[in-house]
């Protein structure tokens, strides 16, 4: 019978026995609540035909539940010191592979091709390390992975950004990247008290269902994202000022103003008021200007 790593007592015991010290710099806040672990797995809708990538298995608490619900789990962990603990906590599961390394530096398409069947649709499930939540989400969304959905624990403040609409304080480039590629929803909010050690903020479990078709059509995705990043570079500046400071030489000022007018977008607006459709229109219309530049 496998020992669950889901209560504070057992987590402390395993950590102590292996003389493991939790590293704040690696976002090591272990989840010690069986109900929340079960809720995360339930939100991922897994069956024995599901293929899962977990990021940061830690001591293996979520991994155990995932292994019981899915066909195969590949867990990516940066901290090699967790090897002995994971060997112990996952010893009864023959459908789990742990790969040690930094998920941000990993070739994920290659890893997925090596570990899962060719037509596998992958679900990412994780209690994400807080210090790299945004880069991990952006990598998952833009690496062209065969993803079905992403179910992850993030800080509450990041969860709010994912669902934000134009004009809201938390609306930014992450909101747009997520909403362009996925349908986001908040599964549950989670108090800070269920983690060891307790972080300074509350969390939320979010679910991103990857859309079969992107929300808007753009011909040059990297340029679309460049425009979005430039528009949010300085939130107090107008859209026009941001575009001119970040992307276009002074000589193109008139041309950029003409494009904004054609696109029906007031140059005095701030980037944070633009919808995804407006960003798509803007990037389609501004694209020819960059071609003329080269």
Return residues touching ligand SAM (CB under 6 A): 26-31, 55-58, 61-62, 76-79, 102-104, 127, 129, 132
54 versus 284: smaller Cβ distance to ligand SAM: 54
**Smallest distance from the beta carbon of 63 to ligand SAM, in angstroms?**
7
31 versus 124: smaller Cβ distance to ligand SAM: 31
Return the residue nearest ligand SAM (CB atom): 56
66 versus 244: smaller Cβ distance to ligand SAM: 66
**Smallest distance from the beta carbon of 179 to ligand SAM, in angstroms?**
25
Phi, psi (rounded to 5 degrees) for 228: -65, -50
Contacts of 63 (CB under 8 A, 6+ apart): 54, 57, 73, 75, 86, 89, 90, 93, 96
CA–CA dist 12, 29 (Å, integer): 12
Torsion angle (degrees, nearest 10) of CA 196, 200, 202, 206: -80
78 versus 280: smaller Cβ distance to ligand SAM: 78
DSSP character string of 81-113: GGHHHHHHHTTT-TTEEEEES-TTTS-HHHHHH
65 versus 180: smaller Cβ distance to ligand SAM: 65
> Which residue is it, tokens 């590949």?
74
**Smallest distance from the beta carbon of 254 to ligand SAM, in angstroms?**
45
**Smallest distance from the beta carbon of 247 to ligand SAM, in angstroms?**
30
**Smallest distance from the beta carbon of 78 to ligand SAM, in angstroms?**
4
129 versus 184: smaller Cβ distance to ligand SAM: 129
**Smallest distance from the beta carbon of 156 to ligand SAM, in angstroms?**
14
- Helix, strand, or coil (residue 156): helix
Q: How far is CA 148 from CA 144, 238, 257, in A?
A: 12, 37, 40
């Amino acid at each position: 019978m496998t020992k669950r790593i889901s209560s504070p007592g057992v987590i402390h015991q395993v950590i102590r026995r292996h003389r493991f010290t939790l590293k704040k710099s690696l976002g090591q806040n272990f989840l010690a609540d069986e109900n929340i672990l079960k809720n995360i797995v339930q939100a991922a809708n897994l069956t024995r035909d599901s293929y899962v990538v977990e990021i940061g298995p830690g001591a293996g608490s979520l991994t155990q539940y995932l292994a019981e619900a899915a066909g195969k789990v590949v867990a990516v962990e940066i901290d090699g010191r967790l090897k002995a603990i994971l060997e112990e906590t996952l010893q009864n599961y023959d459908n789990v592979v742990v790969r040690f390394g930094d998920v941000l530096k990993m070739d994920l398409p290659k890893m997925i091709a090596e570990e899962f069947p060719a037509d596998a649709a992958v679900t990412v499930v994780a209690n994400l390390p807080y210090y790299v939540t945004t880069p991990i989400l952006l990598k998952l969304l833009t690496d062209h992975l065969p993803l079905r959905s992403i179910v992850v624990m993030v800080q509450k403040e990041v969860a709010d950004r994912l669902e934000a609409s134009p004009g809201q304080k938390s609306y930014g480039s992450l909101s747009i990247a997520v909403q362009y590629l996925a349908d986001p929803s908040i599964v549950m909010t989670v108090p800070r008290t269920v983690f060891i050690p307790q972080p300074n903020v509350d969390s939320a479990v979010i679910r991103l269902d990857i859309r079969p078709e992107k929300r808007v059509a753009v011909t040059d995705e990297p340029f679309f994202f460049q425009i979005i990043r430039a528009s949010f570079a300085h939130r107090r500046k107008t859209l026009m000022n941001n575009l001119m400071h970040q992307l276009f030489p002074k000589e193109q000022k008139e041309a950029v103003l003409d494009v904004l007018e054609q696109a029906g977008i007031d140059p005095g607006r701030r980037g944070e008021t633009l919808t995804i459709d407006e960003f798509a229109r803007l990037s389609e219309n501004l694209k020819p200007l960059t071609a003329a530049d080269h």
